[in-house]
Amino acid sequence: MASTHENAAGNHNENTSIAMASDDKNAVRNDNKKAAMTAEFQLKKYLLLLATLVATVTYVAGLNLPGGSWTEDTPGGQVAGESILRETYYYRYIVFYYCNAVSFAASLVVSLLLLVPNGGGYWHGSLRLIMVIDLFGLMGAYAAGSSRDPFTTVCAALMVAGLTAYVTVTFLCYIVCRFLCSLVSS
């Protein structure tokens, strides 16, 4: 009788320790979920901040065109309010216009996509890709709209090219790292 009672007590202790271990695993899982949700929240917060900043900058750049605008009508065909850059450097104006428009639209898309709940995985990857397109558009608009003399144009182009190369190399390293980690884990 004593042995049966001891066995029952032993089984109770084993069941209790198994339940405690299970609770510990659940607590660790919950902590991991909270950490992942916190990281996701931080990512969304910073992407929204960056998208808002880019939308603001591109909106203002669209209203206050680089090079200014004509203040009055002239007999030569300039109309008050038209861009001076458009008349003097037409191709630079076109590059500025399209880069600024793409950057503005991409920042609005990022802002709207961040409002969709429960996105993850590929969703975050697409948000990052759109944000990179957004920033490249902003760089192109800056390079096209900020320079007029050849030296400044070359400097701005080199800056944009260097930053583009850096982002490309960083992205490729990220892809290779993920590929190698997936090979190691499988």
Q: Are residues 48 and 67 in the same domain?
A: yes
How do the pLDDT tens digits run along the chain, 186 residues long?
455 555 554 555 555 555 555 555 665 566 666 666 677 778 788 888 888 898 899 888 888 888 888 888 888 778 888 888 888 888 888 888 888 888 888 888 888 788 776 666 677 777 777 877 888 888 888 877 776 677 877 887 788 888 888 888 888 888 888 888 888 887
Tell me which residue has tokens 């990052």: 128
Helices 90-113 and 2-63: angle between axes, nearest 10 degrees: 150
Q: Are residues 129 and 40 in the same domain?
A: yes
Contact between 48 and 114 under an 8 Å Cβ cutoff? The reply is yes
pLDDT value of position 29: 61
Q: Are residues 80 and 172 in the same domain?
A: no
Long-range contact list for 170-173, CB < 8 A, 24+ apart?
Answer: 171/132
Q: Are residues 103 and 176 in the same domain?
A: no
Query: Is 4 inside any structural domain?
Result: no
Strand partners, 69: 83
Helices 90-113 and 122-146: angle between axes, nearest 10 degrees: 150
Q: Are residues 89 and 161 in the same domain?
A: no
Q: Are residues 57 and 141 in the same domain?
A: yes
d(CA 105, CA 130): 10
Query: Is 185 inside any structural domain?
Result: yes
Q: What is the 3-state secondary structure (H, E, C) of the chain?
A: CHHHHHHHHHHHHHHHHHHHHHHHHHHHHHHHHHHHHHHHHHHHHHHHHHHHHHHHHHHHHHHCCCCCECCCCCCCCCCCCCEHHHHHCHHHHHHHHHHHHHHHHHHHHHHHHCCCCCCCCHHHHHHHHHHHHHHHHHHHHHHHHHCCCHHHHHHHHHHHHHHHHHHHHHHHHHHHHHHHHHHHHC
Q: Are residues 71 and 88 in the same domain?
A: yes
Contact between 55 and 93 under an 8 Å Cβ cutoff? The reply is no
Q: Are residues 57 and 127 in the same domain?
A: yes
Contact between 99 and 144 under an 8 Å Cβ cutoff? The reply is yes
Q: Are residues 18 and 37 in the same domain?
A: yes
* Range(s) of the domain holding residue 166: 148-186
Query: Is 163 inside any structural domain?
Result: yes
Query: Is 101 inside any structural domain?
Result: yes
Q: Are residues 43 and 64 in the same domain?
A: yes
pLDDT value of position 24: 58
Q: Are residues 186 and 136 in the same domain?
A: no
pLDDT value of position 119: 60
Q: Are residues 84 and 127 in the same domain?
A: yes
pTM: 0.61
d(CA 87, CA 155): 23
pLDDT value of position 176: 87
Query: Is 52 inside any structural domain?
Result: yes
pLDDT value of position 147: 66
Query: Is 5 inside any structural domain?
Result: no
What are phi and psi for residue 83, nearest 5 degrees? -75, 135
Domain count across the chain: 2
Strand partners, 83: 69
